[in-house]
Structure 1
Amino acid sequence: MEHIALYRAWRPQSFQDMVGQQHIIRTLQNAIRENKLSHAYLFNGPRGTGKTSAAKILAKAVNCEKGPAIEPCNECESCRRITAGAVMDVLEIDAASNRGVEEIRDLREKVKYAPTEVRHKVYIIDEVHMLTTEAFNALLKTLEEPPPHVMFILATTEPHRLPATVISRCQRFDFRRVSLEEQSERLMWICKQEGIEADTDAVQYIARLSDGGMRDAVSILDQTSSFTDGKVTLEHVLSMTGGMASAQFAELAKAISQGDIGITLQIIERLMQEGKSADKCMENLLYYFRDLLMITMVPNAEGMTERILDPTDFGEVAKTFTKRQLFGIIDTLNHYQTEMKYAAQPQMLFEVALLKLCSGAEQQEIISIQATSSTALDKTSVSSSEVDQLKRQLAALEKKLDQAVSQGLSTGGNNVPAGAMKSQANRAPTPRISFLAKVPSQIESYISQRNSPEFTVVQNKWNQVLQRVKEEKVTVHAWFMNGEPVSVYQDAILVAFKNDIHRETTEKPANKQVIERILEQQLGSPHRLVSMMQKDWNDAVEGAGISEPIPLDLDSSPEENSKEPWVDEALQLFGDDLVVIKD
């Protein structure tokens, strides 16, 4: 006799044979018992969870000669013929092959005819999401108000692709993935019926591989039993499916924790020799470290995953890693898994990822980040003498602010008490007042080097720099010309700006890159551009006891400080990209 695949031979023929969908079975049986059947149902869920099987069982239940009954008898003529697909009134349509509007119009014409062989016409439309928009529109009216003798059952794995108008006309049932326990129990029962000897750990591993799909699990069992001559062990399943045993993951994790590159490379080579694919190994390894993280962070976490067969072994391996290390490992593996999708040599990336983990790259990165943060804090921390100097500068700024308020500069001549204006200034400073945060951290060094020979060279070549900037990009020149060089310290040129808008625009990365490239061309060596406000520079120079500040007119507006105010106005109105300046 011709062999029939196990998933076909043991396909559920009644509701009680279905695995893991009790919430749906009970609802359908209650509807049959109370004669409250709907005219349209939508069965959606992952592949292999019983959507089409449930549709055919429902068709048999409503057409059974001993019913309608909550369970089809599978003995009467109607049940046996529906099971064989020989009843013309029960149509199973593949929407992937009959997705056009013409097929649906033909169906709509035939719906109105009464059934000839059974009690109800049942249309089972599989993969209904493949129908075209026009086909859905043609189906809508019939789906909403079919003749009383017709029932529609739509099945799909992608319900989000169905129009909302179709979903609203159906009773929707969500099929869930079958649990590991339910799958294992069903597989053991099939093995018993087929005379297959199977180990419990092998059956559990098959159930995990199926990802909740009962059909996939039975297919893997069928394939493995054929390979092993009726004796199914975990080693046979791993060999057939290309999977990795938990012990191999534990060995690999131990090598990573010890930083043993040699053992890690040996394990990788052994896996590749066994025919394992690099991307599948990466995926399984990610899951393994995810489970380790769950064990580390959550008590009794073995219930949160179906991959942990022996919680004790997982717990021992998890103790060798800290939480931070596990987070870093998962991030690294996830990054390289993404890269492997586009790599010509995925095995190489798999090896690089594990070698990076072995070399302690994550710890080095963490140390580096901490060191960088510490260095940044050291740079931003100031000595007591610097604090005193900043306090003097702040006092000088407050004094000048009081003078400006008393002269009515901030109020435009309004008669407002000076004390009130000072309070308002403290609460909400005006946008054009610069702050000490814009002062470079090494301002004292810039002040001491303001008359150095290096700065003299920069001053002598500054006009050439401006001309080259103008030739390179005239819009950058329009903003940059508002600044004047005031000092040079090491490889940094300090430029003081009269207008904060000009300074901020010059500091944009694209504009700053143009300027620094021209500085290197004109001065013969790389130089960085550092900017601050002229007012802050003058205050810093005055605070250092030097009476040579750059002249600054507080009463002047940004337009008066600009050499070409109409250019500035155009750039502010339309932006750098839309303005073209020609001589």
Structure 2
Amino acid sequence: MAHIALYRTWRPQSFQDMVGQKHIVQTLQNSLREGRFSHAYLFSGPRGTGKTSAAKILAKAVNCLNGPGVEPCNRCEACLRITEGAVMDVVEIDAASNRGVEEIRDIRDKVKYAPTEVRQKVYIIDEVHMLTTEAFNALLKTLEEPPAHVMFILATTEPHRLPATIISRCQRFDFRRVALEEQVERLRQVCAKEGIAIDEDALAFIARLSDGGMRDALSLLDQIIAFSGERVTYEDVLSITGGMASDQFEKLAQAIQDRDIGAALALIDAFMQEGKSADKCMENLIYYFRDLLMVKMVPNSEALTERILDVKRFTAVAERFTGEALIAMIDTLNYYQTEMKYSVQPQTLLEVAVMKLCSGSPVTGRQGGADTASAGSGDGQTIQRQDALVGQLLSRIERLESQLAALVKQGVAPGGGAAPAGGSSGGGRSAPAPAVSRRSIEKLDAYVAGIDSPEFRHAAQQWSQVLGRVKELKITVHAWLVDGEPVGLSDTNLLVAFKSAMHRETSERPANKQLIEQAFQEVIGQPYRLVTVMLKDWKAATEQTKSADAPKEVLELIPEDEGPGGAVKEEWISEAIQLFGELVKIKDE
């Protein structure tokens, strides 16, 4: 008979077989005992924690011929056929491959038919977060008010991706990661039943690597048994998983404390010769120093047992370092781990990280005059470096302030070097100026004068093509630029007015501005430079400019019988006579 994977062989068939989900098992059993089970359940949690298994057990419990009861009997025809997946009324759907609205509509059309083989029709939808929005909408009404003979069980590892309207229609159960002790006990039972002799350290290490997933732990155990046979040792687990024993890291920590770069690099080379990957070494090294920090900062904590097998040994190593030193080393390792993702030589980065730890300031924190002096000098060096950095930052700020003052004297707006008009380019970070200054108006005079030029009319006519070209180059820049419109031209500067300060600021960013000016060159045919202004400031400036240039009205007193006024009076009299004839009487006043 073909071999069946351990996680399939040892899949729970009843609630009592489930590991680490006591809160869920108790709730479901109480519901079954009282006959108050719901029409829709949502099982969420990390992978390998028993969501699908619990759904199948619940389906058997409600359809058991000897029930429904708190446990399926697993002996009647209904239980046996549901376990085999041969009952048409218990449907398990993989939403990752059946995620469309048509599949959900098919379910919606079939739920109204009564079950033919068992008393309750059950739909188990696994990875339900993969359904499309349209599929969720099609499921809503059916999920809220299904027929009395239908039960839905939704399972997902990402509940945050589900619409709130779906979650609110279900009873939600959150599955937890299985505790290390419970995983070890379950693995011990499996090995005993399978006739496998295994070390306790090996069991604990497998449980640690599974990260709370019982299925992952069984899969890993299956792989190790294939490698080792009927006798599994701790070394076999390290060999097959690529892990490293804590005593190897203890030697590395000692080399770092002694500043022995040669010994540290020799250990790294030994890891590589054993086939360990550099990124795995870095990850395990970070975990090791994390465990040392936990022992140092939180002694006698129960949380340490999840990862640390020999707490006393870790405590002895942690006493050689200060808490600040361990935090600094973790920061350094984390930085180089991030850089590893983009490097073609990850081993080199691992070696550089270890050498940096070895060559840093003294990290020993043991009692004694020499060690205390070293720590003090290290702290002094750190303070000196911080003072030097602060001095550099202050001098840089002074230079920037002087440059800003020079720009203001030249009439450039502080919000952005390209802005000729008033108003801040910082978006909503500062309050807008209540009015446009005379200086800004004077700076806009050149653009106002260029409104009637044929060059500006040509540029304005090509604006829609410019927007289209920007959209082709980068659609996100188009989203910001579409808020603006060309309003003026001066020499090679094209002035664009924006309604939104945020859109203006984003368009002025160097990369975006370069792309927009490229579109100017390609569409308009001229190397125009982008200059921006707020639309309200432009309108205010143009209105004040027009009022300043408008001709002044002159009031004159003209006798009634002279000038234009007298002629108008004669016209009124003539028109009145034509309309009313002899009824018109003229009187001089």
Deviation at 1:39? 0.2
What's 1:98 paired with? 98
**Once the two structures are superposed, what CA deviation does each residue of 1:310-344 show, in whole Å capped at 9, x if it has no partner?**
01110111111111111110111111111111222
Alpha carbons of 1:373 and 1:233: their partners in 2 closer, same or farther (altered >3 Å)? closer
**Once the two structures are superposed, what CA deviation does each residue of 1:6-59 show, in whole Å capped at 9, x if it has no partner?**
111111000000000000000000000011010000000000000000000000
Secondary structure of the 1:93 match is: strand
Look up the equivalent residue of 1:206 and give its one-letter code: I
What's 1:330 paired with? 330
Quick check: 1:370 aligned with 2:370? Answer: no
What's 1:550 paired with? none
* Percent pairwise identity: 65
Match of 2:408 among 471, 474, 479: 479
Secondary structure of the 2:125 match is: strand
Alignment of 1:375-454 (within 5 A): none
What's 2:112 paired with? 112
Cα pair 2:295 2:304 within 8 Å, conserved: no
Alpha carbons of 1:479 and 1:16: their partners in 2 closer, same or farther (altered >3 Å)? same
What's 1:341 paired with? 341
What's 2:155 paired with? 155
Alpha carbons of 1:478 and 1:357: their partners in 2 closer, same or farther (altered >3 Å)? closer
Look up the equivalent residue of 1:215 and give its one-letter code: R
Structure-2 separation of matches of 1:132 and 1:375 = 56
Greater alpha carbon shift after TM alignment, 216-225 vs 15-24: 216-225
Structure-2 separation of matches of 1:136 and 1:361 = 58
Secondary structure of the 1:4 match is: coil
Structure-2 separation of matches of 1:336 and 1:44 = 35
What's 1:486 paired with? none
Deviation at 1:349? 1.1
Deviation at 1:578? 2.6
Look up the equivalent residue of 2:172 and give its one-letter code: R
Alignment of 1:209-358 (within 5 A): 209-301=209-301, 303-358=303-358
Aligned length: 419
Cα pair 1:302 1:308 within 8 Å, conserved: no
What's 1:63 paired with? 63
Structure-2 separation of matches of 1:42 and 1:373 = 53
Secondary structure of the 1:578 match is: strand
Cα pair 1:129 1:156 within 8 Å, conserved: yes
Alpha carbons of 1:46 and 1:378: their partners in 2 closer, same or farther (altered >3 Å)? closer
Secondary structure of the 2:532 match is: coil
Alpha carbons of 1:351 and 1:65: their partners in 2 closer, same or farther (altered >3 Å)? same
Secondary structure of the 1:348 match is: helix
Alpha carbons of 1:22 and 1:373: their partners in 2 closer, same or farther (altered >3 Å)? closer
Deviation at 1:290? 1.0
Look up the equivalent residue of 2:334 and give its one-letter code: N
Look up the equivalent residue of 2:146 and give its one-letter code: P
Alpha carbons of 1:361 and 1:349: their partners in 2 closer, same or farther (altered >3 Å)? farther
Quick check: 1:76 aligned with 2:76? Answer: yes
Cα pair 1:256 1:358 within 8 Å, conserved: yes
Deviation at 1:303? 3.0
What's 1:132 paired with? 132
Deviation at 1:173? 0.2
What's 1:180 paired with? 180
Look up the equivalent residue of 1:479 and give its one-letter code: V
Structure-1 separation of matches of 2:216 and 2:116 = 37
Secondary structure of the 2:306 match is: coil
**Once the two structures are superposed, what CA deviation does each residue of 1:176-224 show, in whole Å capped at 9, x if it has no partner?**
0000000000000011111000111100100001000001101111111
Structure-2 separation of matches of 1:174 and 1:106 = 29
Q: Normalization by structure 1: what TM-score? A: 0.67
Alignment of 1:4-23 (within 5 A): 4-23=4-23
Q: CA RMSD in A?
A: 3.3
Alpha carbons of 1:302 and 1:22: their partners in 2 closer, same or farther (altered >3 Å)? closer
Q: Normalization by structure 2: what TM-score? A: 0.66
Alpha carbons of 1:378 and 1:335: their partners in 2 closer, same or farther (altered >3 Å)? closer
Cα pair 1:328 1:362 within 8 Å, conserved: no
